[in-house]
Structure 1
Amino acid sequence: MDEDTNVEPMFDYHGFDEGYARTKSFSARKNRTRKSHAGALKLKNFVCHREGFKPQNNYGIGNLKRKHTPETRCGCSAMMEIRVDAPSGRWFISYFSDKHNHPLLDPRLTGLLPGHRFMFEADIGHMVNMKKGGISVRQIYRALANQTGGYEYLSFMQRDMYNKIAKQRRQLPGDAYEALKYLEDQATNDPSLYFNHHMDADGTLRNLFWCDGLSRANYSLFGDVLAFDATYRKNKYMCPLVVFFGVNHHNQTIIFAAALICDEEKDTYRWLLQQLKVAMNGKAPVSVITDGDLSMKFTIEKEFPNAHHRLCAWHLIRNATSNIGKPLFTSMFKNCMLGDYEIDVFRQKWFEMVEGFGIENKNWVLDMHKKRHSWATAHIRGKFFAGFRTTSRCEGLNSIIAKYVNSRYNLVEFIQHFNPCVDHIRWKEVQADLASVNGRPSMQTCFQQLKRSAANVYTLSIFHMFQPILVRAASMKVINMRQTGSYVIYSVGLDRMPNEMWRVFCCDIEMEFNCLCMRMESFGIPCEHIVCVLVHEDIEELPRSLVLPRWTKTAKVGLQNAVGLHWDSLMLSQYSCLMDWFRQLANFACRDNERFIFTREMAMNLLKQFKEEDAAQKELVNDADSVRDGVQVDAFGAGLATNDLGYSMPRDPRKYRTKGGLHSLIKENIDVDSVVWRATIEQLVVFVVASHSQKAMEMTHLIMTRMIT
């Protein structure tokens, strides 16, 4: 019956379709209705799913391309018509014909007809929760089939899941609004979560920035080096994704914040960096590495004037190849860029190289020499970059993100699937923590005591980076030393290369060591020259001045976990728990008819109660919202609607283009009542979990315990 009828319903269409039509191996559909002058429904007719004919109008018109699908309609005349008796208000069958002009289907195939396919609310909820975890629709469909005992017990097909997802997307009041609402809801579980957005004058969302509490806490420890990139555009609007990231104490990639932006202009980057500063309590990075984008460079100089800016070495090598086109030059340019030379030596090698190729007046060469302080190791020496030389981590990060999101995702879906990607990266950190504290590395090289000291302090990955330094230190020796005031100056080098020596300055009072190679200042790990001096002086423990806290096992000790338990995860756990109990309950209840009737009645009563409580709660929330907020639009409609988030209702971003009934197959020994039981139980589970009610959980547990015992 339609909801707008004022006649007491006397006919259940779904019962007719799933009962009579399914039994006779066809599917029925509503065809025509008629209303009285008062608007009351007075006639309905139902026809076979093969009634009528497929329209032929679109075939062969112009360049219209259409996939030719099989014609299922053949003008079947089977029909039933019902009318309402005006005096009594009761429905009666006024016409009935069961003459089909086509063969009826095999009973095994009837359930696959569209009219017999539908998704239970429990199935939809389970699908949504699994999809949030990054599971594909194909995998979800397979999991649901396994859960129900086989594909033949599912009342829907995989395409129905895709259709339901598309319908949910269309029903959203506004993608931009829903994204902000989602972040607002997340903030209830994570009070430290920060997000902000920027809109056009017409209210169109341009930029969205967010970072959770744990990301902010990680930035407070590891935000000394910052990298960001905007090459990833895999979302519905083709908006660039900007990921701010760095490295943790295991030298692993760690995400600090993320943003979706409309363009890559200076104003956009400036807004982003301003939001980053606000979210991170004003802390600016010591060093920043980018791919050389001019808008980025300009913004970094304005917002982080004291930060050291380094250009990506990989991009520079690629540019050298494209601008000069000579492999030998590219090789020499790479040596100039990455070679650990003194400034005078670098200058000599640079001019010898460009003069040798006769390119000293080439614009790209002149520009590179002008920017040498941003890419040459000789000029960057002493500036801390934590080992960053390229933005290749961006490429690796993008490949990980691509496993969680795709180009069909809107804003809400993108954020929902981006968060598990961040969790995946964080889980790798947990595994590295375990590897660092669980056991000790083998001591098979020289300098056993010094190596053991480093193994006790550094994380495992940093210790592995320190081991080659110990090996190189073993081939060096202190050639000369002299006292100058409070400092002792050591000259360290190789016997076979007496002209290449590095000087190490040592303050005996503070136990501070400084080498002219400045690798300690650049990376935070002692160089082989300092290690050689430590061995020469019989120092077996790494001095505190040579241990950078960010590389140690205790780097995050005392840091509170800024993220609580995700409610989605809690609901999923409760859902799985209840479904396990109810499966056992169904197994026992269906063995005896009295048990079945008792359990079914109890389950249906619980379901009815929870539905009523849920509806009442929603009504209270809606009433409160209507009193507190409301939509505010001026008389000409030019204003922006406000909402319960406390700011103007944003419009969805513009899309940018980049360049260039019953279960399907019911066996004869399966009672129809058992199918109804499953549907009721699954709906009950959804409402019990969603109600967050301890009373509801106790009531269902009581029923299950009684039946099983």
Structure 2
Amino acid sequence: MLDDTGTQLYTPQVVEQKKPNVKQEFQTIEEAFQFYNAYARECGFSARMSTSKRKKGTNELIWKQFVCFKEGETNEHYQKKEKHTVQRSGERNRGLVRVGCKAKMTVVKSQTGPNWIVSQFVEEHNYALATPSKIHLLRSHRVVSAAKRGLSQQLSEANIPMCQQIRVLEIEADGPQNIGCVEKDIRNYGQREEKNPTFYFKCELDEESRLVRCFWADPFARRSYHFYGDVVVFDTTYNTNKYDMIFAPLAGVNHHGQTVIFGCALLSGEKTEFFIWLFNQLLDVMPRGAPQVIITDQDPTMTKDIAQVLPSTCHRYCIWHILNKFAEKINTMVYRDNYHWFKNIICNSETIEEFETSWAELLKNSNLGDNTWLRQMYEIRNKWVSVYFNHIFNAGMLSSQRAESSHAFFKRYISNKNSLMDFIVCFNRAINHQRHDELVADHIDVNEQPKLKTMCPMETQMVKIYTKRNFIIFQDELFESSAYFLSCTFEDDESVFYSVRKANGSCSSRNRQLKYNKLSDSVSCSCRLFNFNGIPCRHILAYFRIKQVMFLPSEYILRRWTKSAKIGKVWDNNG
């Protein structure tokens, strides 16, 4: 059958054979979408994945919907933006694509097996479908095949320009309509193809071909995550380019205490769908899975999304962002007189009871009990007050230094006037400098040794094991430990408790409490410094000195802080 222009229409018998049926089963989500997309091709429309639902607690995917690409309405943000924007010369005037089409297929996870079952199928469309001669122009049917990718890569290696590569493909396929994709797809593939298969790049466009989100991590970044991905800082406060996209790096700290980038994202907004997509990318491509701790700015949407996708990860807010708000949230004179007290209580309270009592007393003395913002911050204190999470390893990231230095680092290279290409160039330059700094620190560790301060065998031991940065921290704690003494306060069948005090200490010097566990032969301190940053505190080291423990036991040496942090299992593409 032909249409009015002489174009061959779809065969009804073939369309009927490809049509989904309610209760039809598929083994995987991917298989279900491939079936629906094949049906869409026969009918003349483009399919896309839409909303999904996950099971609370386990985060297991249990419901997924596939829709026509004309489902929904065109993004309101872009409609308003383009309505009030004067079109520049040569700029493409984009039309509206989404028209509220209701065609869709919904699948649900079987309760008795691994299969997916079609629970709903809506066949009708509210617009004229594409004819077969135009099917290659629809997004879900535009595929750069493996053969075309291979040919394009070979032509690139021979320095043949992209425009000539496309002409070759057109000749081989007997016309552009038979290539199976459009010229833009081949150009985009050529821009992102990497020779190293461990480079990961994922991007998504909307129906107007605008970039809405992307995530990338090169082999060095993924390998770094394998070694240092226990604690991740996720910051979405950067202004990056003239397209109003958010630059969201996932960062951590390496064995030299330097900032290291694990992966980066560009997001067109701070919506739930963007954050969930990004965190799922992290889980899919990183070799060690979810981080132990993730540190973010104070964003309620992100907080809910992290709880959903990373339920076992400790999520806390960056103290730097919160402390910076005190100056604007409380009276100037009150801020001047009381800020240092607030900071001391927030950062140095040793127990929850101590924090609660000190906070209430400070609010009373400063007449800030009615301050709405302080009340709100108190309600979420477990997310940002250190005493609520300093029992967990945080790689020492409590102070403002990590976030502040990270901001300063990227601001040296990145401007909100950047085009997307300018941004990539500047970002790569910044990352190269960052990685060179790590190389320099590795070189220093091999060729230089810090000066020793004592004759203690433990110092001689650890100067060979720790990186220079961590040895200096340890050395300071070891040196200070000589001024501390212990007195037993209580003992039972399982534990011995000690009070640790500083000899000739001032009245402001507080005593610490040590607990020795007889069963595990281990000691812990109430200051929780070792728990939080992974280097033994002066109080524990004083215990070792008095008990004549000459060498630091292995359970107090974190591999991630040592010179051999990157030695061992070699990370590969399989993680």
TM-score band by shorter chain is: 0.5 to 0.7
Q: How far, CA to CA, are the matches of 1:504 and 1:219 in structure 2?
A: 34
Matched residue of 1:230: which SS? coil
Amino acid at match of 1:456: K
How far residue 449 of structure 1 moved from its aligned partner, in angstroms, is 1.5
Report which stretch shifted further, 486-495 or 521-530.
486-495
How far residue 374 of structure 1 moved from its aligned partner, in angstroms, is 1.5
Q: Is the 8 A contact 1:226 1:244 kept in 2?
A: yes
What are the Cα deviations for residues 267-303 of structure 1, in whole angstroms up to 9, with x where unaligned?
Answer: 2112111111111157111111122122222222222
Q: Is residue 372 from structure 1 mapped to residue 376 from structure 2 by the alignment? A: no
In structure 1, the residue matched to 2:36 is none
Q: Is residue 255 from structure 1 mapped to residue 261 from structure 2 by the alignment? A: yes
Q: Is the 8 A contact 2:386 2:398 kept in 1?
A: no
Q: How far, CA to CA, are the matches of 2:412 and 2:213 in structure 1?
A: 24
Matched residue of 1:457: which SS? coil
Q: Is residue 468 from structure 1 mapped to residue 476 from structure 2 by the alignment? A: yes
Query: 1:210/1:471 Cα in 2 relative to 1: closer, same or farther (>3 Å)?
Result: same
How far residue 536 of structure 1 moved from its aligned partner, in angstroms, is 0.4
In structure 1, the residue matched to 2:548 is 538
In structure 2, the residue matched to 1:400 is 409
Gaps of 5+ in 2: 1-158, 160-182
Query: 1:404/1:516 Cα in 2 relative to 1: closer, same or farther (>3 Å)?
Result: closer
Query: 1:407/1:179 Cα in 2 relative to 1: closer, same or farther (>3 Å)?
Result: farther
Q: Is residue 516 from structure 1 mapped to residue 490 from structure 2 by the alignment? A: no
In structure 1, the residue matched to 2:441 is 432
Q: How far, CA to CA, are the matches of 2:416 and 2:512 in structure 1?
A: 53
Written as runs of structure 1 = structure 2, the 5 A alignment for 1:78-227 is 181-184=190-193, 186=194, 188=195, 190-227=196-233
How far residue 518 of structure 1 moved from its aligned partner, in angstroms, is 1.7
In structure 2, the residue matched to 1:332 is 341
Aligned-residue identity in percent: 29
Decide which structure has the larger Cα Rg and report it.
1
Amino acid at match of 1:534: F
Q: Is residue 278 from structure 1 mapped to residue 258 from structure 2 by the alignment? A: no
Q: How far, CA to CA, are the matches of 1:285 and 1:402 in structure 2?
A: 26
Query: 1:364/1:403 Cα in 2 relative to 1: closer, same or farther (>3 Å)?
Result: closer
How far residue 395 of structure 1 moved from its aligned partner, in angstroms, is 4.2
Which of these residues, 485, 490, 499, is aligned with residue 498 of structure 2? 490
How far residue 439 of structure 1 moved from its aligned partner, in angstroms, is 2.9
Q: How far, CA to CA, are the matches of 1:177 and 1:442 in structure 2?
A: 58
In structure 1, the residue matched to 2:24 is none
Which of these residues, 538, 554, 560, is aligned with residue 550 of structure 1? 560
Q: Is residue 450 from structure 1 mapped to residue 458 from structure 2 by the alignment? A: yes
Q: Is the 8 A contact 2:488 2:496 kept in 1?
A: no
Which of these residues, 345, 354, 360, is aligned with residue 354 of structure 2? 345
Q: Is the 8 A contact 1:251 1:461 kept in 2?
A: yes
Q: How far, CA to CA, are the matches of 1:463 and 1:365 in structure 2?
A: 39
Written as runs of structure 1 = structure 2, the 5 A alignment for 1:507-656 is 507=517, 510-558=520-568, 560=570
In structure 2, the residue matched to 1:653 is none
Matched residue of 1:206: which SS? strand
Amino acid at match of 1:467: Q
Q: How far, CA to CA, are the matches of 1:343 and 1:509 in structure 2?
A: 27
Amino acid at match of 2:357: Q
Written as runs of structure 1 = structure 2, the 5 A alignment for 1:35-74 is none
Q: Is residue 320 from structure 1 mapped to residue 326 from structure 2 by the alignment? A: yes
TM-score for both structures, normalised by structure 2: 0.63
In structure 2, the residue matched to 1:246 is 252
Q: How far, CA to CA, are the matches of 1:358 and 1:401 in structure 2?
A: 40
Written as runs of structure 1 = structure 2, the 5 A alignment for 1:652-663 is none
Amino acid at match of 1:459: T
What are the Cα deviations for residues 433-468 of structure 1, in whole angstroms up to 9, with x where unaligned?
Answer: 121222321112x46222122212211001111222
Query: 1:390/1:489 Cα in 2 relative to 1: closer, same or farther (>3 Å)?
Result: closer
In structure 1, the residue matched to 2:126 is none
Amino acid at match of 2:359: W
Q: Is residue 361 from structure 1 mapped to residue 370 from structure 2 by the alignment? A: yes
Report which stretch shifted further, 407-416 or 280-289.
407-416
Query: 1:350/1:409 Cα in 2 relative to 1: closer, same or farther (>3 Å)?
Result: closer
How far residue 261 of structure 1 moved from its aligned partner, in angstroms, is 1.1
What are the Cα deviations for residues 639-662 of structure 1, in whole angstroms up to 9, with x where unaligned?
Answer: xxxxxxxxxxxxxxxxxxxxxxxx
Query: 1:177/1:363 Cα in 2 relative to 1: closer, same or farther (>3 Å)?
Result: farther
Report how many aligned residue pairs link the two structures.
388
How far residue 559 of structure 1 moved from its aligned partner, in angstroms, is 5.2
Q: Is residue 296 from structure 1 mapped to residue 302 from structure 2 by the alignment? A: yes
Q: How far, CA to CA, are the matches of 2:488 and 2:378 in structure 1?
A: 36
Query: 1:493/1:229 Cα in 2 relative to 1: closer, same or farther (>3 Å)?
Result: same
Report which stretch shifted further, 364-373 or 496-505.
496-505
Q: How far, CA to CA, are the matches of 1:509 and 1:454 in structure 2?
A: 26
Q: Is residue 231 from structure 1 mapped to residue 237 from structure 2 by the alignment? A: yes
Calculate the aligned-residue CA RMSD, in Å. 2.7
Q: Is the 8 A contact 1:488 1:506 kept in 2?
A: yes
What are the Cα deviations for residues 557-584 of structure 1, in whole angstroms up to 9, with x where unaligned?
Answer: 1354879xxxxxxxxxxxxxxxxxxxxx
How far residue 239 of structure 1 moved from its aligned partner, in angstroms, is 1.4
In structure 2, the residue matched to 1:667 is none
Query: 1:179/1:496 Cα in 2 relative to 1: closer, same or farther (>3 Å)?
Result: farther
How far residue 413 of structure 1 moved from its aligned partner, in angstroms, is 4.3
With a CA cutoff of 8 Å and minimum separation of 6, indicate the structure with the bigger relative contact order: 1
What are the Cα deviations for residues 130-154 of structure 1, in whole angstroms up to 9, with x where unaligned?
Answer: xxxxxxxxxxxxxxxxxxxxxxxxx
Query: 1:458/1:324 Cα in 2 relative to 1: closer, same or farther (>3 Å)?
Result: same
Q: Is the 8 A contact 2:226 2:288 kept in 1?
A: no
What are the Cα deviations for residues 311-361 of structure 1, in whole angstroms up to 9, with x where unaligned?
Answer: 222222222221112212322211111114222221111111111122223
Q: How far, CA to CA, are the matches of 2:400 and 2:303 in structure 1?
A: 15
Q: How far, CA to CA, are the matches of 1:484 and 1:274 in structure 2?
A: 48
Amino acid at match of 2:487: I
What are the Cα deviations for residues 166-201 of structure 1, in whole angstroms up to 9, with x where unaligned?
Answer: xxxxxxx76x985654222x2x2x211111112224
Gaps of 5+ in 1: 1-124, 126-172, 564-709
Query: 1:413/1:365 Cα in 2 relative to 1: closer, same or farther (>3 Å)?
Result: closer
What are the Cα deviations for residues 568-613 of structure 1, in whole angstroms up to 9, with x where unaligned?
Answer: xxxxxxxxxxxxxxxxxxxxxxxxxxxxxxxxxxxxxxxxxxxxxx
Matched residue of 1:373: which SS? helix
Q: How far, CA to CA, are the matches of 1:336 and 1:228 in structure 2?
A: 25
Query: 1:557/1:282 Cα in 2 relative to 1: closer, same or farther (>3 Å)?
Result: closer
In structure 2, the residue matched to 1:478 is 486
Amino acid at match of 2:468: L
Which of these residues, 494, 497, 514, is aligned with residue 504 of structure 1? 514
Amino acid at match of 1:522: F
Q: How far, CA to CA, are the matches of 1:513 and 1:437 in structure 2?
A: 32
Q: Is the 8 A contact 1:340 1:517 kept in 2?
A: no
In structure 2, the residue matched to 1:163 is none
Amino acid at match of 2:319: A
Query: 1:501/1:233 Cα in 2 relative to 1: closer, same or farther (>3 Å)?
Result: closer
Matched residue of 2:541: which SS? helix
In structure 1, the residue matched to 2:20 is none
